[in-house]
Structure 1
Amino acid sequence: MELAINTQNEPKQETGYFLSPLWEDIFSKELLEELNSNIFLVACRSGQANQSLLRKFMIQHHYYSQYFTRYLCSLMGGLADQKDFVSLSHNLLEELTGTDAAKISHAELYKKAMAAINAVPKSDAILKSTQQLIDAMFRHCRSDDSLRGLAALCLGAEAIVPLVYGPILDALRSIKASDDALYFFKIHVEEDEDHAIVMRKIIDRMIEENPHRRADVIAVGEEMVRFRMAMLNELYQSNTRVNLNEYNDTII
């Protein structure tokens, strides 16, 4: 089956980051505008995200991303079609072994990115919104309904990478972070849509067989995007509170 592409609405380009027309029939314009307007991502794009804020992001994102292969394995274990399992196994292999000659896992690349800006794993307590994002992703990926897991991982993670990681790259460049800090995010911006498209093809085939499930896919995708926005909002606000407390301490 060919992917259903809606090209009636041009993708938003004002932020410098946008999704290809492939996703316009599955994400609402309003949801994408809300994501682009997220206070943390706006700070990243505008050069207002300092190293302290980026460290907080790295630490919270590590709590979530350390389980990525487990999300994927949980999803794969529930797939009925062996061909679908094989298709997603390529993503898993890439996560575990990397894509270049160095053969460094994505988990190790992320640890190198953290070290490059002195972000120590688990040095901040996990935020409530971060735990909610983790729990929601596991809930969908472990579900007996594999379509929900596909929607969560495809729409709630892989497909939105340009809108989330792109601004973070801007922010890291703004603070003149080293290549080690940038590389993890660069390869995901460049490659993750390919992973998302593999999942999207499976989703579209399942929807073709059961058209009423389209609404479920859209709902799960929106739910996961909102959980991610909540995490970004909370870490931004927590950093603002820390900065305010430090300022107050200096004037007492």
Structure 2
Amino acid sequence: MKIYHDVLERKKNELINQVNAHPFLVRCRSGDVTMDELLRFLGQQGLYSRNFTRYLCALMANLPRNEDVLHLSENLFEELGLDESGDTPHHELYRAMLARFGIDLAEQTLTPGTFGLIDSMFQHCKDPNPASGLGALCLGAEALVPDVYTSIVAGFRAHQVPDKEISFFLIHIECDDGHAETIRDIMIDIAEKDEQQLNRMLAAGQALVDARLRFFDDILQQATVYA
């Protein structure tokens, strides 16, 4: 078990480093990011993340064990506000944040990078082999959230935006580590039964990070076009 855990952790850290090195997140952490770039991120991220429950449901349909479905359903319930905490559903928190910044998703146009990110996540999560969806959702998404959102928060703070206006990001910096660990444990169990699945998981995570980097490319390019 430890060897698979270590391999996944190394890949996770490698992918985090790749994402953190993107100029968009570097600009966020340095305080050089423009408000236009941040607002374009909010809109495009909203188009991607509004499908999160669909990604999760597609993956859950392919899991071999009911126990794994139950573990992932905890993530789903939290997103929908159906868990015992009684907190506001995450999609409503995001919609409220968009409204505060005057962003309507209905008026947003998918960039090629955003379309590619959505399509890649769907294709991996719909794969009958759950190793693809697990790798994509864990290594290519959930495991990246704390670092990506920490950079985004730094960018907004550089523009003196109060934390209460971006509480969605602050909440996810804290909670998505647990989400990633839940999925990672399922990945380890699958790898123990069939070591060949490990490479599929790693490849899926890399594919999603490559798509995420193209997503960030478009944020910078679109902001430049409309500057």
> Would the alpha carbon gap of residues 103 and 203 (structure 1) be closer, same or farther in structure 2, given more than 3 Å must change?
same
Residue from 129, 137, 144 that aligns with 2:128? 144
- The TM-score normalised by the length of structure 2 is 0.92
Indicate conservation of the 8 Å contact 1:66/1:107, yes or no.
Answer: yes
2:105 match: 121
Which structure carries more helix by proportion?
2
Deviant stretches of 4+, over 4 Å: 1-5, 98-102
Q: Does 1:40 align with 2:21?
A: no
- Equivalent position amino acid for 1:174 in 2: A
Residues 5 and 188 of structure 2 are in contact (CA less than 8 Å); yes or no, is this contact kept in structure 1?
no
Between the aligned partners of 2:84 and 2:220, the Cα distance in structure 1 is 34
Q: Distance between the aligned counterparts of 2:72 and 2:182, measured in 1?
A: 7
The reply to whether residue 24 of structure 1 matches residue 43 of structure 2 is: no
Q: Which residue of the partner structure matches residue 227 of structure 1?
A: 211
Q: In the alignment, residue 224 of structure 2 is paired with which amino acid?
A: T
Point out the structure with max Rg over C-alpha: 1
2:183 counterpart residue number: 199
- Is 1:89 aligned to 2:76, yes or no? no
Q: CA deviation at 1:147?
A: 1.1
The offset of 1:24, in angstroms, is: 3.3
Closer, same or farther: CA 101–219 of 1 in aligned 2, 3 Å: closer
Is residue 173 of structure 1 aligned with residue 173 of structure 2? no
Consecutive unaligned residues of structure 1, counting only runs of 5 or more, are 7-21, 244-252
TM-score of the superposition, structure 1-length normalised? 0.84
Residue of 41, 45, 49 corresponding to 1:57: 41
CA deviations on 1:70-115 (whole Å, 9 max, x unpaired) are 1101111111200001001111000000778662110000011212
- Verify the 8 A CA contact 2:8 2:202 in the aligned structure 1: no
**Number of equivalenced pairs:** 227
Which ranges of structure 2 fall in alignment gaps of 5 or more residues? none
2:81–2:89 CA contact under 8 A, matched in 1: yes
| 2:142 is the alignment partner of 1:158 | yes
Aligned-CA RMSD value: 2.0
Q: One-letter code of the match for 1:184?
A: F
